[in-house]
Amino acid sequence: MTHRTPDGPEPRPDLSKPVWQPPGTGSGADGEADGIHQVVESPTEQIAEVLADPQATTVVDPTAIDPALADPEAVAEAVAPQRDIATAEGDTLLEVRDLTVEFGGLAALSEVSFDIRRGEILGLIGPNGAGKTTCFNAITGVYTPTRGTVTFDGEPLGKLKRHKITRKGIARTFQNVRLWGEMTALENVCVGTDARHKTSVWGATFRTPRHYREERDAVERGMALLEFVGIAARATEKAANLPYGDQRRLEIARALATEPKLLCLDEPAAGFNPSEKTALMGLIKKIRDDGYTVLLIEHDMRLVMGVTDRIVVLEFGRKIADGAPREVRDNPAVIAAYLGVPDDDIA
Ligand SMILES: Nc1ncnc2c1ncn2[C@@H]1O[C@H](COP(=O)(O)OP(=O)(O)OP(=O)(O)O)[C@@H](O)[C@H]1O
């Protein structure tokens, strides 16, 4: 079976079967590969068994699969293996300068500049059509800016393609859920880890020891990620069968699987009820506390005010405010933009 990526026709590996083979059945012709099989231990084997079971679409007990998943600290460590950031927290991670995106004659984004600092949650807000998604798309390589620059971790992103930007450490979720519906939750997350794999096509074809090791690590980290976002019990459920809220969490887990330095969330709470929104706020803070930097587009002001460290406000493609949540909330231009006060009335 060929899986398609949400954005394009790139063929995906078939992960609907266990991602490795039992000892003695490997296609590797030499004993080396079998040697690797023999060091595969539970919990990985147990996860493989669960995945191999065609009836395994029900709730599983993650801690029965891997007792380490009961320890939140161990889970947090597995989710963010690089979280001891070499550069100090608070340094600039992403620099947007004079970013302009035009569609025909329409400027969806005009000369927008802001920074994202390491370890913060930055909110990007604004009324409908303000240019938030366009800004996201220009940062993540979906659109090529008409003018302006985006510098990430000290390097200009220029006209880099999306997958190269992902490899540099920017991951995102989309306004509309984009998952591989026929794949299980765990498989969706394991695909996210592909971005960090070093196995060559040759290595994958001939199933080298490194290939096995990477697949095994992907499954173990995948389970930790699902536990981290709160859906490990649904690991073996097809993504399409998950409740909507869990699908949103799965998207976040899959984005985290690429080990990003910056996680961009495009309206992650869209369609949530108030209690789901509160729970999501907790998750976003937990992600930040685990060492990630987060860029959050969100319509819900309460959520944005409650979770962000700083906020950038756009209106009609231009930045109208930038600051701490309280400053932004009290800014007359922001109030006018949201409440539709005539320009003349703005102090
Ligand atoms: N691919 C495109 N082609 C033409 N116009 C576009 C395109 N993408 C966005 N726009 C226009 O650019 C402007 C900004 O849209 P954008 O989606 O970035 O706003 P937004 O702040 O994310 O809005 P919303 O909150 O409704 O999602 C809008 O006028 C929109 O119609």
DSSP 187-218: HHHHHHHGGG----HHHHHTT-HHHHHHHHHH
Residue of higher predicted confidence among 117 and 87: 117
Judge contact between 236 and 51, C-beta under 8 A: yes
Q: Rounded to two decimals, what is the model's pTM? A: 0.75
ipTM of the complex: 0.95
pLDDT of residue 119: 92
pLDDT of residue 321: 95
Binned at pLDDT 50, 70 and 90, residue 1 comes out as very low
Residue of higher predicted confidence among 291 and 10: 291
Most informative mutation of 103, 128, 134 for ligand 1 (most atoms within 8 A of CB): 134
pLDDT of residue 319: 97
Query: Which of ligand 1's atoms lies nearest the C-alpha of 135?
Result: 18
* % of the chain exceeding 90 in pLDDT: 35
- Say yes or no: CB of residue 103 within 6 Å of ligand 1: yes
- Say yes or no: CB of residue 133 within 6 Å of ligand 1: yes
Work out the burial of residue 285: count CB atoms within 10 Å of its CB; fewer than 13 is exposed, 13-18 middle, 19 or more buried: middle
pLDDT of residue 198: 54
For residue 183, what are the contacts with CB-CB under 8 A and spacing of at least 6? 3, 15, 16, 191, 238, 239
- Say yes or no: CB of residue 126 within 6 Å of ligand 1: yes
Judge contact between 179 and 247, C-beta under 8 A: yes
The Å distance, Cα 107 to ligand 1 centre, comes to 10
Average pLDDT over residues 162-185: 83
Q: Which two tokens stand for residue 38?
A: 């023999």
Ligand 1, atom 1, residue with closest C-alpha: 103
In CATH terms, are 55-83+170-259 and 85-159+264-272+298-346 the same topology?
yes
Residue of higher predicted confidence among 177 and 119: 119
| Residue 36, CA atoms < 13 Å, CB-side half-sphere | 20
pLDDT of residue 78: 77
Most informative mutation of 99, 101, 103 for ligand 1 (most atoms within 8 A of CB): 103
pLDDT of residue 33: 36
DSSP-assigned beta bridge partners for residue 99:
112
The Å distance, Cα 13 to ligand 1 centre, comes to 33
For 85-159+264-272+298-346, the fitting CATH number among 1.10.357.140, 3.40.5.90, 3.40.50.300, 3.20.20.120 is: 3.40.50.300
Q: Which two tokens stand for residue 223?
A: 């389970």
Q: Which two tokens stand for residue 15?
A: 């992960």
Domain 55-83+170-259 has CATH 3.90.1150.10: no
Give me the chain's average pLDDT, please: 77
Highest mean pLDDT among 55-69, 95-109, 158-172: 95-109
Ligand 1, atom 28, residue with closest C-alpha: 129
The Å distance, Cα 131 to ligand 1 centre, comes to 6
- How far, in whole angstroms, is CA 83 from its chain's centroid? 15
pLDDT in tens, 92-118: 999 999 999 999 888 999 999 999 999
**Which sequence spans correspond to the domains of the chain?**
55-83+170-259, 85-159+264-272+298-346
Binned at pLDDT 50, 70 and 90, residue 296 comes out as very high
pLDDT of residue 41: 43
**pLDDT beyond 80 at 30:** no
pLDDT of residue 44: 57
